[in-house]
Homo-oligomer: A and B are copies of this chain.
Amino acid sequence: MALEIDSILGKWLGLNTTSSHTAVASTNLFVALLCACIIVGHLLEENRWINESITALSIGLCTGVVILLSTGGRSSHLLVFSEELFFIYLLPPIIFNAGFQVKKKHFFRNFMTIMLFGAIGTLISFGIISLGAIHFFQKMNIGSLDIADYLAIGAIFSATDSVCTLQVLNQDETPLLYSLVFGEGVVNDATSVVLFNAIQSFDLSHIGSSIALQFVGSFFYLFITSTLLGVLTGLVSAYIIKRLYFGRHSTDREVALMILMAYFSYMLAELFSLSAILTVFFCGIVMSHYTWHNVTESSRVTTKHAFATLSFVAEIFIFLYVGMDALDIEKWRVISNSPGKSIGVSSILLALVLVGRAAFVFPLSFLSNLTKKSSFEKVNIKQQFTIWWAGLMRGAVSMALAYNQFTRSGHTQLRGNAMMITSTITVVLFSTVVFGLMTKPLIRILLPSSKHISGSMISSEPSTPKSLTTSLLSNGQDPEADPAGDQNVYRPTSLRMLLCTPSHTVHHYWRKFDNSFMRPVFGGRGFVPFVPGSPTEQDVLQWPPQSE
Query: Is A309 within 8 A of B31, CB to CB?
Result: no
Q: Does A543 contact B (CB under 8 A)?
A: yes
B contact residues around A330 at 8 Å (CB): none
| Stretch binding the partner chain, chosen from A36-44, A120-128, A206-214, A520-528 | A36-44
Pick from B2, B471, B547: contact of A542, CB below 8 A: B471
Mask for A261-279, Cβ within 8 A of B = 1, else 0?
1011001111101111100
CA distance A253 to B298 in the complex (A): 19
B contact residues around A544 at 8 Å (CB): 463, 485, 487
CA distance A541 to B300 in the complex (A): 9
Q: Does A540 contact B (CB under 8 A)?
A: yes
B contact residues around A485 at 8 Å (CB): 542-546
What copy number does this chain have within its complex? 2
- With an 8 Å Cβ cutoff, the count of chain A residues facing the other chain is 100
> Chain B residue with minimal CB distance to A52?
B548
CA distance A247 to B496 in the complex (A): 38
Pick from B87, B264, B298, B537: contact of A305, CB below 8 A: B298
B contact residues around A149 at 8 Å (CB): none
Query: Is B12 within 8 A of A8, CB to CB?
Result: yes
Query: Is B12 within 8 A of A305, CB to CB?
Result: no
Query: Is B260 within 8 A of A34, CB to CB?
Result: yes
Q: Does A115 contact B (CB under 8 A)?
A: no
- Given A42-B244, A255-B309, A21 contacting B301 (CB threshold 8 A): no
Shortest distance in angstroms between A461's beta carbon and chain B's nearest beta carbon? 12
Mask for A444-485, Cβ within 8 A of B = 1, else 0?
000000000000000000010110100100000000110111
Query: Is B28 within 8 A of A268, CB to CB?
Result: yes
Mask for A1-40, Cβ within 8 A of B = 1, else 0?
1111101110110000000010011011001101100110
Mask for A213-255, Cβ within 8 A of B = 1, else 0?
0000000000000000000000000001000101001111101
CA distance A11 to B297 in the complex (A): 39
Pick from B27, B257, B264, B309: contact of A252, CB below 8 A: B309
CA distance A1 to B276 in the complex (A): 7
| Stretch binding the partner chain, chosen from A77-85, A364-372, A415-423 | A77-85
Q: Does A148 contact B (CB under 8 A)?
A: no
Shortest distance in angstroms between A391's beta carbon and chain B's nearest beta carbon? 20
List 28 contacting pairs A-B, 8 Å CB cutoff, sorted by A: A1-B277, A2-B270, A8-B82, A11-B12, A28-B264, A31-B263, A35-B257, A39-B240, A39-B257, A41-B253, A42-B253, A45-B249, A259-B313, A301-B305, A301-B543, A302-B309, A304-B543, A306-B309, A308-B548, A312-B548, A465-B538, A466-B542, A468-B468, A471-B541, A471-B542, A484-B545, A485-B545, A537-B537
Q: Which residues of A line the B interface, CB within 8 A? A: 1-5, 7-9, 11-12, 21, 24-25, 27-28, 31-32, 34-35, 38-39, 41-43, 45, 82-85, 87-88, 167, 170-172, 193-194, 197, 240, 244, 246, 249-253, 255-257, 259-261, 263-264, 267-271, 273-277, 297-299, 301-302, 304-306, 308-309, 312-313, 400, 404, 463, 465-466, 468, 471, 480-481, 483-485, 487, 537-538, 540-548
Known interface pairs A1-B87, A38-B260, A251-B305; 8 further A-B residue pairs with C-beta atoms within 8 A, sorted by A's residue number: A31-B263, A42-B244, A42-B246, A301-B305, A302-B305, A302-B309, A466-B542, A540-B540
